[in-house]
Structure 1
Amino acid sequence: MTLREHDPESVGGYRIESRIGTGGMGVVYLGRSASGRAVAVKVVHTRYADNPEFRARFRQEIAAARRVSGAFTAPVVDADPEAARPWMATAFVPGRTLADRVDESGPLEWPALRRLGTELAEALREIHRAEVVHRDLKPSNVLLLEGEGDDGAVRVIDFGISRAADSDVRTQTGMVMGSPPFMAPEQFSRPHEVGPAVDVFSLGAVLVYAATGHSPFEAENAYLAAYNTVHGEPRLGELPGGMRPLIARCLAKEPADRPTSGEVLEALAALPEELTDGTPAEEPTPAPEIPLTETVTSPLGGTEAVRPGRLRRARLLRDSTDRGHRGRRLWAAVAVVAVLGGTGAAAVAVVTDDPVSTVDDAVPAAPRTPSAGTAPAGWRPWHNALGSDGKDQPMGLGPSCTPDALGVFCASEQVALMRLDPASGNTDWTKPMSRKQVDGFTLRQPVVRDGTVFVYGADRSQGVDAYDARTGELLWQLKGPLGDFEYLGGALLVRLDPLDSPGSARYAAYEPRTGKELWRRELSTSSPSPLYEGPGGTLYADLRGGSGGIARVDARTGRTLSSVTAPKGDLWLATIHDSTAYYARWQDDSGVSADFFVQDLGSGKTRRIDFPWSVEPEAPPLVHGDTLYIFDYGNETLLALDVKRGKPLWSSSRDLRVFSEPSYHDGRLYVTMPDTSILALDPRTGKEIGRTSPSFDTAGRSFEELSPSSVPPLLVGDVLYGVTGPGVFSVPDVT
């Protein structure tokens, strides 16, 4: 692969010649030492360089790779985990991955398959003797050497998520580390407790892939593959008969039922070097169907794209020290970490050309309600880079914008508030920001409702300023510092004390246009953000950890109208939608969850859904009817789940690289793409309806240089508005 404009000329004294590959965490280059020796140089992406946990994991990767360097691994030559961009150089191994070999030439014949199995088992035996667990053995992490005398020899690469037995560096909270469908069941449900048995499970899955061209738990997408891994039986019918019982033992659900890597090596070495004619192959066993039951193991997570204040609330919650009040920025459906291997192959599960659906393809597209057919007078497609020259700005440093029918409203470090004309994208008016330096000042995404815009005060006091959305007239203001604010139930709800106040929270409600105080009340709660939208001018208040369960409150008077007892346990209230509460249960003090609860706030009845893996729920889902729509930031995919039946409906292909939270408008789902186009999807099947043309030129920039958007597309009449790293834009709706 050729070098790109921003690639380094050298790293650690090694001259960079070309790219070997790229993935979610870094880039691998072919480099040369001063003496001419070829090395593979792995360099992490800039955006991870300041993450202490990532640096700790990278140090662990280097230590693990050095610890197991031997006949079946690529030895570490040099490394600098403390560099501005941490890097590691290993001996360059000429060859291709097992994934490439099978993709290009088909499944392996018996002699090559037997050799692969014995050498992989021997490699794992040596890795385990060094007290290291690889945890991500898969076809793209197995290199087959090329060249005289070495053709077909095995090297195991990428110890990016390995763990030494004596290491105290934990997997990032909530991250399921690995690559379905080559992961063991316990990696989904107990990721902090994995041992050498997970590598044996992966070895069995890799050998099935090498022999058949598919994994034993093949499915249309990563989520269903994980379900099959935890609950289904492996497809082994195409394996050579003599190997089948051994592989079945490797793929046992319980770690204790699997052989050790040494036992696998002995069993494979005992098999004949040539197969006899009496080795029949059975018909493949079909993958089990997911039962349509009320309680089912399924991934769950998502975003609530329609409320501008949610991401702000998410970031504030993320800073909370109480594990029960964790953040809501990401709710990873399957947090499959793409750690780059020596070949640059990312740890991505099943990738298809089109969105995968469990819905019959014959089902017609969801009917669409005719739109108003309107656009602002004189409107034409436009884009505005907001002074960045169209370059993607680091997350949190650029302007924070909210699109609305009256325009796009943005706040930045320099401008308290500005409005872009919805027809042209030109700046209508701006409100200057005080130049006074204030410790702890943060930006707030503007909240726009009913012709009024609310932002943090221009005086930098962390108060609230309310403006007329059309004219920019300052309507009223509150001096700070204040904890946070949101528009709920027809009122502006303001937290009057800091978010970390123990045991209670003081709230006041204000008339949005006049600033008249409607009520003031202290809520006994342990939640830093306890209020949610309710029906008919009401609110729901999360009073757990304080005076009770979930209370329904009149938004205009602050009076409690009714209450229900919340489910017991250390549960996180993810969101409330249509009088239904969605909770997740924490596992001990890990901050991850494998149990989910859905409660009717009228009757108080609760039902439970189990996950087949542990997740860290950090953002509310976008709920429409009985379906949750989830933007998985980590994998840049969109997932739809039927909560009523507990069934995954469909998942977008990772090839699409979904790049924003989703929105639901007029019978369609909309998401922004990396090239700044907007994609429309059928919400029932995930099938692409169409997409707009890109608004910014992103040519020459890799995905790693761009940032997913926290703001979903907005449809107003026949016009779409989008917010991306390069800026904001407006385009005609997909026809």
Structure 2
Amino acid sequence: MTLREDDPRSVGGYRIESRIGTGGMGVVYLGRSASGRAVAVKVVHTRYADNPEFRARFRQEIVAARRVSGAFTAPVVDADPDAERPWMATAFVPGRTLAERVDETGPLDWRALRRLGTELAEALREIHRAEVVHRDLKPSNVLLLGGEGDDGAVRVIDFGISRAASSDVRTQTGMVMGSPPFMAPEQFSRPREVGAAVDVFSLGAVLVYAATGRSPFEAENAYLAAYNTVHSEAELGELPEPLRPLVSACLTKEPENRPTASEVLEALAGLPEELPGEEGRAESSPIPVTTLSGQATLPSTGAGTTRPKRRRKRLLTGLVGAALLGVTVAASVAVVADDPASTVGEADQAGRQATGPQATPRGSTPPGWRPWHNALEPEKDEPMSIGPACTPDALGVFCSSAQVALTRLSPSTGRVDWTKPMSRKEVSSFSLREPVVHDGVVFVSSADRAQGVDAFDGRTGKRLWHLDGPVGGFEYLSGVLLVRLDELGLSDTARYAAYEPGTGEELWRRELTSTSASPLYAGPEGTLYADLRGGSGGVARLDARTGRTLSSVEAPQGDLWLATVHDGTAYYARWEDDTGVSAAFFVQDLGSGKTRRVDFPWSVEPEAPPLVHGDTMYIFDYGNETLLALDLKRGKPLWSSSRELRVFSEPAFHQGRLYVLLPDTSILALDARTGKEIGRTAPSFDTDGRSFEELTPSAVPPLPAGGVLYGISGQGIFSVADVS
């Protein structure tokens, strides 16, 4: 749907492109992140923004969606419940809703219906394990992804009226939240007492709708539908016979008599894959294996290339602090040095220490260093908040949060060396950026909360200089600090300036027009590259100290994301149908302008820029949870990591090795030429008993520095010995 005159053109730094739909809570837009990724941005209706009860419920929606983001939901990318109009951004999941599918092509056949029920039951099982109740499961909140007839993998969306089972936020007296005729009876009669059983009831109603095109409590209006739900028996219509007993059990009036989602899943697994007389139809209308993007999985031409049936939580690209959501850096407690004198028990100590060669650091280590980990627990009575965003460096780990402008954790012990407070001044909006560290200087969002820039000496904590805000972003490239002086907004044209990192002296400023929110890249020998597509249409080479244009080349045509620039070469990913899945890269020499195409043997999801070293490109494929190495000269894959590894972070390259973080907070070292495992560290945190989907991913690669490795995960920050 096209944008209306009063629709926003930018929300939270995401460029708004079109409307996706409108619901009771707000409007959902298709937006575009700085890297070019599509996101779905839900913006709350103005009439609700001043309602404290609503804001509390919207905050709960965000918490609930974060807790269950994974194989069956659209992961939360960003959110601001305190904005003038609260909003939340999730990964954009292309596909038709079940309501659209049934409306356009009619009820599902048996195979599609059985698959739908199985995946919905599995989704509810995972949602309920996270102690969340959806409370609004209906055909328009069920996405069918890809393939003929859109009968592919299922995603449950819109946790708009969900709540965690332990939440203190309660429905207002007299207010019924949900969507008749797919609500359970208790949602009308006792809405304060609803539990997981309401989702099972809704599952039964959705299956009847998918099989017949009608709700089991269909009526002329919502009021009659509510009455039917509470007082009348379900109308099952043409529901296939094998499903009738199970669906009837789901639609039982009393919640305690309904099966659990796990029991529904088990019952569905026992049903026949084909109904008598339908084998021929099934063969002529197969349900394809699909990827999250809706693209059919290509035949495997290398190890570990098949799309898994279940997906990991996807990274919150560009939001490093999301790896540690909900804690503050006010405390230096919970720091454990892995030595016999620490407070860790002997059994726990034995389980955490690496054995054999893993315990021997490669090269010199910081003075007094021992393995440590810091859970960054909040101090007593400290409010929960977004953050911190942390950046490891050889000087230590630097973190920022909404409460603390900057703190440094000691590289030797993990304890807080010093802290710079954040102003408590109330502001209309505040976005957290991870610290940028280079050559002993740390750049962070300004402590006055005005979205400016502060530069600190990373050794002493002394503030070196300050730049007033608001600014749209900052990064260190080619010896200068580059700052977008204009906030992200409607225009593709913005002012940029370069500053001397140590003194804050302005070196130059100029206006650039680009469709990219971050158009500048490091070049060789004190130069920059500027992606000016949307303006002059090419890629320009600039002098980093003066901002003067030295040369330019025409960019290749098409819907391409300039993923990275390395050693005078630009690497563009081509999106497949605006999905974030890429089957090819275009490699352009920025001196001559010559471009060549490198095709992948399967479609990948490069959610972050690839790592290029020499003639090899390393890509983290989020869809298959594998690390790929491609020979850029021959355009052929070299190797891919095993799916059993379940890679968890972007890779880091150091001295011929690749380092990646695994879900159990161990760090894996791979030979960069062959992909073979060299070794791995022992886990730094106890993750036993937690499933892969329950663990929070990290957007920060491990940092090898000074003979040790630094890592950031959802459990906290740690430092371990490099593997030998």
- TM-score, length-scaled by structure 1: 0.57
Aligned to 2:288: 135
Percent of residue pairs identical: 60
Aligned to 1:529: 518
How many equivalent pairs are there? Answer: 467
1:65-96 alpha-carbon deviations (Å, 9 max, x no partner) = 8635636779645389xx9xx96973743878
**Equivalent residue for 2:415, pick from 404, 417, 426:** 426
- Kept after mapping to 2: 8 A contact 1:76/1:90: no
SS at match of 1:93: helix
- In the alignment, does 2:708 pair up with 1:719? yes
Which amino acid is 1:25 matched to? F
- In the alignment, does 2:371 pair up with 1:381? yes
Structure 1 alignment gaps of length 5 or more? 1-21, 27-38, 99-115, 137-160, 162-170, 178-186, 190-216, 227-302, 316-369
1:625-669 alpha-carbon deviations (Å, 9 max, x no partner) = 122222233443222222222222222222222221110111111
- In the alignment, does 2:281 pair up with 1:125? yes
Aligned to 2:264: 90
Aligned to 2:124: 43
C-alpha distance 482-54 of structure 1, shift in aligned 2 (>3 A): farther
Which amino acid is 1:93 matched to? A
SS at match of 1:43: helix
- Kept after mapping to 2: 8 A contact 1:314/1:619: no
**Equivalent residue for 1:311, pick from 304, 308, 318:** 318
1:284-324 alpha-carbon deviations (Å, 9 max, x no partner) = xxxxxxxxxxxxxxxxxxx9x9xxx9825999xxxxxxxxx
SS at match of 1:431: strand
SS at match of 2:431: coil
Aligned to 1:605: 594
Which amino acid is 1:90 matched to? V
CA–CA distance in structure 2, aligned partners of residues 125 and 500 of structure 1? 52
Which amino acid is 2:210 matched to? R
- Kept after mapping to 2: 8 A contact 1:42/1:88: no
C-alpha distance 312-698 of structure 1, shift in aligned 2 (>3 A): closer
1:586-608 alpha-carbon deviations (Å, 9 max, x no partner) = 45656654442110111111011
CA–CA distance in structure 2, aligned partners of residues 70 and 615 of structure 1? 38
CA–CA distance in structure 1, aligned partners of residues 319 and 124 of structure 2? 32
- Kept after mapping to 2: 8 A contact 1:388/1:727: no
1:315-336 alpha-carbon deviations (Å, 9 max, x no partner) = 9xxxxxxxxxxxxxxxxxxxxx
**CA positional deviation for 1:435:** 1.4
Which amino acid is 2:374 matched to? N
CA–CA distance in structure 1, aligned partners of residues 605 and 589 of structure 2? 23
Which amino acid is 1:70 matched to? P
- In the alignment, does 2:72 pair up with 1:25? yes
C-alpha distance 608-24 of structure 1, shift in aligned 2 (>3 A): same
Aligned to 2:210: 67
- In the alignment, does 2:496 pair up with 1:507? yes
RMSD between superposed Cα atoms in Å = 4.1
- Kept after mapping to 2: 8 A contact 1:482/1:497: yes
SS at match of 2:644: helix
C-alpha distance 91-385 of structure 1, shift in aligned 2 (>3 A): closer
- Kept after mapping to 2: 8 A contact 1:664/1:670: yes
Structure 2 alignment gaps of length 5 or more? 1-68, 74-119, 145-154, 158-202, 212-238, 308-313, 323-359
- In the alignment, does 2:507 pair up with 1:518? yes
- Kept after mapping to 1: 8 A contact 2:319/2:699: no
**CA positional deviation for 1:563:** 0.9
Query: Structure with the greater relative contact order (CA < 8 A, sep ≥ 6): 1 or 2?
Result: 1
- Kept after mapping to 2: 8 A contact 1:533/1:576: yes
CA–CA distance in structure 1, aligned partners of residues 674 and 276 of structure 2? 40
1:523-573 alpha-carbon deviations (Å, 9 max, x no partner) = 122221110010111100011110241111010000111111111233221
**CA positional deviation for 1:380:** 0.9
- Output aligned runs, 1:489-568, within 5 Å: 489-568=478-557
Aligned to 1:193: none
**CA positional deviation for 1:508:** 0.5
Which amino acid is 2:71 matched to? G
- Kept after mapping to 1: 8 A contact 2:320/2:434: no
Give the stretch that moved more between structures: 547-556 or 86-95: 86-95
CA–CA distance in structure 2, aligned partners of residues 49 and 597 of structure 1? 45
CA–CA distance in structure 2, aligned partners of residues 59 and 721 of structure 1? 36
C-alpha distance 481-88 of structure 1, shift in aligned 2 (>3 A): farther
Which amino acid is 2:318 matched to? L
- Kept after mapping to 2: 8 A contact 1:418/1:430: yes
Aligned to 1:105: none
- Kept after mapping to 1: 8 A contact 2:361/2:707: yes
Which amino acid is 2:124 matched to? V
C-alpha distance 681-406 of structure 1, shift in aligned 2 (>3 A): same
**CA positional deviation for 1:720:** 0.9
CA–CA distance in structure 2, aligned partners of residues 562 and 661 of structure 1? 32
CA–CA distance in structure 2, aligned partners of residues 372 and 658 of structure 1? 23
Aligned to 2:474: 485
1:245-280 alpha-carbon deviations (Å, 9 max, x no partner) = xxxxxxxxxxxxxxxxxxxxxxxxxxxxxxxxxxxx
Which amino acid is 2:430 matched to? F
**CA positional deviation for 1:488:** 0.4
CA–CA distance in structure 1, aligned partners of residues 262 and 209 of structure 2? 11
CA–CA distance in structure 2, aligned partners of residues 720 and 496 of structure 1? 35
Aligned to 2:655: 666
C-alpha distance 613-630 of structure 1, shift in aligned 2 (>3 A): closer
CA–CA distance in structure 2, aligned partners of residues 65 and 709 of structure 1? 41
Which amino acid is 2:678 matched to? I
- Kept after mapping to 2: 8 A contact 1:314/1:618: no
- In the alignment, does 2:395 pair up with 1:221? no
**CA positional deviation for 1:609:** 2.5
CA–CA distance in structure 2, aligned partners of residues 718 and 618 of structure 1? 30
SS at match of 2:363: coil
Which amino acid is 1:385 matched to? A
**CA positional deviation for 1:500:** 2.6
C-alpha distance 531-677 of structure 1, shift in aligned 2 (>3 A): same
- In the alignment, does 2:700 pair up with 1:693? no
- In the alignment, does 2:695 pair up with 1:648? no
SS at match of 2:124: strand
Which amino acid is 1:716 matched to? A
- Kept after mapping to 1: 8 A contact 2:321/2:434: no
- Kept after mapping to 1: 8 A contact 2:708/2:719: yes
C-alpha distance 486-23 of structure 1, shift in aligned 2 (>3 A): closer
SS at match of 1:563: strand
- Kept after mapping to 2: 8 A contact 1:627/1:642: yes
**CA positional deviation for 1:694:** 1.2
1:154-181 alpha-carbon deviations (Å, 9 max, x no partner) = xxxxxxx7xxxxxxxxx96xx246xxxx
C-alpha distance 582-49 of structure 1, shift in aligned 2 (>3 A): farther
SS at match of 1:644: coil
C-alpha distance 374-97 of structure 1, shift in aligned 2 (>3 A): farther
CA–CA distance in structure 1, aligned partners of residues 433 and 578 of structure 2? 30
Aligned to 1:289: none
**CA positional deviation for 1:221:** 2.3
Which amino acid is 1:125 matched to? R
C-alpha distance 55-314 of structure 1, shift in aligned 2 (>3 A): farther
**CA positional deviation for 1:372:** 7.8
**CA positional deviation for 1:615:** 5.3
1:480-502 alpha-carbon deviations (Å, 9 max, x no partner) = 11000000010000000122341
CA–CA distance in structure 1, aligned partners of residues 429 and 710 of structure 2? 31
- Kept after mapping to 1: 8 A contact 2:242/2:271: no
